[in-house]
A and B are shown apart, each in its own frame.
Chain A
Amino acid sequence: MSPQAVLTQLRNSKLLSGRSAVIGVPYVWLLVFFLLPFLIVLKISVSEMETVHFKDLLTYKDGLLQLTLKFSNYEFIAEDPLYFKVYLASLKYAAATTLFCLLIGYPFSYFMARAKPSIQPALLMMVMLPFWTSFLLRVYAWKGLLGENGWVANLLEWLHVDHLLLALGVIPALGKFMNSPFSLVLGMTYTYLPFMILPLYANLAKMDLRLLEAAADLGATPWTAFWKVTVPLSKAGIIAGSMLVFIPCVGEFVIPELLGGPETLMIGRVLWDEFFSNNDWPMASSVAVVMILLIIVPLAIFNKYQAEAQEARS
């Protein structure tokens, strides 16, 4: 049977009439449970809160159609310096976490990808394994490790790293590591490190090593070849890994709650408090909308990269 005939058969077959179902089911699911909720958040963020219900945005009274949009929440966020500080802090901690993940994760992925091929699956498995065990419990473990008399706390004190950290202003006092910017960024770096390693490894393992040979033949030292060939070729992996770390970190709640302190207030926590403690749903929605605005550019970059990677593979 010729390829054309196969195609014709395909076109006439159930596979294509099933096509709409295959596309439709997840599509509708996502529209209803992912997109629609965002629109509702957007709506509630400009709604007036009455005692129990929200006031309708559109009201019809005495032959007058009235649209009420309440922007006071956004004005409040824009004017209150606390919110500005919190948004800035969230971006700062997320950026620091991304940087540390890259600094630790890039050499890690590089050496993993250049290890003996026979042991690479085992190494990959070892990176994945902590990812399978509870993230909440691994974050909790750091409370013990960094707390008074904890293993890591003792080690850092013995190495006098606490003097350096205090000089940098990321811990409150000598020997006190918990509930500080240091413990927060350490915890986030720890949690998100596999998200940096996996795309970088996938990228570096695919690289054509003959390019490095060519670079060497043309007189490049290994170091030059690394910077001029390997790093530029792994750009896609660096971007994917960085976005996978940065975007969720901006809105992280559990890690700041367990490892952060009073001065490491992050936006996820603010949203949580507006919702659960203050019961101010319109305010929580406004905070969420502003958070989405903060991450929309990284999100677009991530989606573009994902789409490109998907096209490139097939």
Chain B
Amino acid sequence: MNGKKPPIFGDAFNRRFGKAWLAAGFAFLYLPIIALVIYSFNDSPLPTTWGGFTLKWYGKLMHDTEMISGFWLSLKVAFFTACASVVLGMFAAFTLVKYKRFTGRTMFSGMVNAPLVMPEVIVGLSLLLMLVSVQRWLGFPERGAMTIWMGHLLLGLAYATVVIQARLQDLNPQIEEAAMDLGAKPHQVFFLVTMPMIGQALASAWLLTFTLSLDDVVLSAFLSGPGSTTMPLVIFSRARLGLNPSVNAVATVIIVVVCIAVVTASYLIARAERQRAREMAAAQRAS
């Protein structure tokens, strides 16, 4: 650019208007979260009237066996969903980026992308009906953590693929070719060259699919069996009946944990990125 400012609403009014719009938008996005946290400390029988500060809802939470067992189940399902999603998502992303031609590619990319937008009631219903048919035929799988995991994996696969694919597309293929020129075997190229370069994307995909699974209501409702009630199902059944301070307390715990995890992760990712940029620059100077 030649130093001249392009005419993009550059005047003071628009700049102020832009700032105001962004501020209002962020207020809209964050207001419910702030309200949830504040009212988790509310010592009042009426959920929307402030009655002083208390920690009693957190105390009750510690003895809430239904919520706690739901939490452990959700955590378990989310962990396995995230791991499997990243592996399958990596395969799918590789397929979409590296193999431009194979039979049924259009259908493949359609099936990968569709769960991103497909209403969850449809995915949940169809998967359940299939599992029921299979169960009648083979005698398993019993509805429970395993079937919830299958449903979440379908969703997680789609999201993981999008995240990993975006990173793979930005990679310079010459780096992998150079490694091959230098005699690296394909699996060495993958594990020593490609993997470290897409590591951050794998980490983000893992975190994203983990939170997606931890949060899902509809698929879990269709695919859970007796005795396998995940935390969102517990929260949902209580929220349906009305406002419930125990839900606010759970929400606050989740929000704090997620914020710490995401902020730490993005800090580490940004640091690794800077480190790599420095090394690249140093390598370029050296050559």
Among B14, B116, B157, which residue has the most Cβ atoms of chain A within 10 A?
A: B116
A41 CA to B124 CA, complexed, in Å: 11
Partner of A248, one of B47, B96, B118, B255: B118
Contact B115 A130 (CB under 8 A): no
A240 CA to B19 CA, complexed, in Å: 25
- A-B CB contacts (within 8 Å), total count: 281
Contact B115 A34 (CB under 8 A): yes
A129 CA to B95 CA, complexed, in Å: 30
User: What is the chain B residue whose CB lies nearest that of A9?
Assistant: B180
Contact B21 A23 (CB under 8 A): no
Asked if B240 CB lies within 8 Å of chain A CBs, one says: yes
> Is the contact region of chain B dominated by helix, strand, or loop, or is it mixed?
helix
A123 CA to B108 CA, complexed, in Å: 34
Which of A64-72, A75-83, A166-174, A298-306 contacts its partner?
A: A298-306
Contact B239 A258 (CB under 8 A): yes
A53 CA to B270 CA, complexed, in Å: 56
Partner of A140, one of B117, B181, B235: B235
User: What is the chain B residue whose CB lies nearest that of A126?
Assistant: B26
Asked if A250 CB lies within 8 Å of chain B CBs, one says: yes
For residue B95, give the distance in angstroms from its CB to the closest CB of chain A: 5
**B residues contacting the other copy or chain, number (CB 8 A):** 105
Chain A residues closer than 8 Å to B9, beta-carbon distance? 114, 222, 226
Partner of B117, one of A222, A225, A248: A248
For residue A232, give the distance in angstroms from its CB to the closest CB of chain B: 15
A299 CA to B1 CA, complexed, in Å: 39
For residue B30, give the distance in angstroms from its CB to the closest CB of chain A: 7
Chain A residues closer than 8 Å to B215, beta-carbon distance? 134-136
Chain A residues closer than 8 Å to B114, beta-carbon distance? 34, 299, 303
Contact A145 B95 (CB under 8 A): no
For residue A298, give the distance in angstroms from its CB to the closest CB of chain B: 8
Interface string of A258-302 (1 = CB under 8 A from B): 100000000010011001100001001100100110010001001
Contact A143 B97 (CB under 8 A): no
Known: A26-B92, A114-B9, A268-B119. Is A148-B48 also a contact (CB below 8 A)? yes
Partner of B113, one of A40, A210, A212, A306: A306
**A residues contacting the other copy or chain, number (CB 8 A):** 108
Known: A15-B186, A271-B121. Is A212-B6 also a contact (CB below 8 A)? yes
Partner of A141, one of B33, B108, B130: B33
Chain A residues closer than 8 Å to B119, beta-carbon distance? 247-248, 250-253, 268, 291, 295
Given A107-B18, A271-B122, 20 other A-B residues pairs in contact with their CB atoms under 8 A: A15-B186, A53-B136, A108-B21, A111-B22, A130-B33, A133-B33, A133-B258, A141-B33, A144-B36, A149-B49, A194-B29, A209-B6, A226-B9, A244-B117, A253-B120, A254-B236, A272-B121, A275-B125, A288-B125, A292-B122
Q: Which residues of A does B touch, CB under 8 Å?
A: 1, 3, 6, 9-10, 13-15, 18-19, 22-23, 25-27, 29-31, 33-38, 40-41, 44, 53, 104, 107-108, 110-112, 114-115, 121, 123, 125-130, 132-138, 140-145, 147-152, 190, 193-194, 209-210, 212-213, 215-216, 220-222, 225-226, 243-244, 247-248, 250-254, 257-258, 268, 271-272, 275-276, 281, 284-285, 288, 291-292, 295, 299, 302-303, 306-307, 310, 313-314
